[in-house]
Structure 1
Amino acid sequence: MSWVWRFETEDGGAAAPSGSSLSDSSLSESFPTQSDAETWLGENWRELLAAGVQQVVLQEAGHKVYGPMSLRPVD
């Protein structure tokens, strides 16, 4: 199975991170486990938010696992 993040704008449209120091390959990376995917997001969410991603959806083999989950900190 492969686990991937879908990056979205606030209204649920597809977001393409721009101005990010994350490489294109890491943005399209698939992960072997849910834990690996969640660890990657935990390490990179600030960078994604700064690059224009507002929320993410975790998918496994093309099926939604959970989300959308906002990347903005709770006030």
Structure 2
Amino acid sequence: MNLPEQPTTFRAPLPAERPWWWRLENAAGEEVTVEGDLGSERFASQSDAESWVGEVFAELAAEGVDAVTLFELERRVYGPMSLHP
């Protein structure tokens, strides 16, 4: 039995629908993997991505993230940007 495709509200957004994302980095500039939502968030706009990192930067730092770099799909927009004062 073939089931219909899941409605849009139940499928994960495609990268083209949420092209903005942060690369999480350690002090050496190497990519850091963080468990849970902090490590996999994607955003529909640059302002959404920037607002999010402003809200969770302390949590990211506690997970070992020293800096972040903003990407739109595969294009580096800016960074690395330190999470430390």
TM-score (norm 2): 0.74
Structural RMSD (CA): 1.3
Percent identical residues: 47
Deviation at 1:47, TM superposition (A): 0.5
Unaligned runs of 5+ in 2: 1-15
1:12 and 2:6 equivalent?
A: no
Deviation track 1:39-62 (CA, whole Å, cap 9, x = no partner) reads 000000000001100000000011
* Cα pair distance change 1:8/1:26, threshold 3 Å: closer
Determine the C-alpha separation between the residues in 2 that align with 1:72 and 1:14: 17
Q: 2:49 matched to which residue of 1? A: 37
Deviation track 1:13-60 (CA, whole Å, cap 9, x = no partner) reads 011236xxxxx1342111000000000000000000011000000000
Unaligned runs of 5+ in 1: 19-23
**Higher relative contact order (CA closer than 8 Å, sequence separation 6+):** 1
TM-score (norm 1): 0.83
- Bigger Rg, structure 1 or 2: 2
Deviation at 1:64, TM superposition (A): 0.3
Q: 1:25 matched to which residue of 2? A: 37
Number of positions where the alignment pairs a residue of Structure 1 with one of Structure 2: 68
* Displacement over 3 Å in runs of 4+: none
Residue 53 of structure 1 aligns to which amino acid in structure 2? V
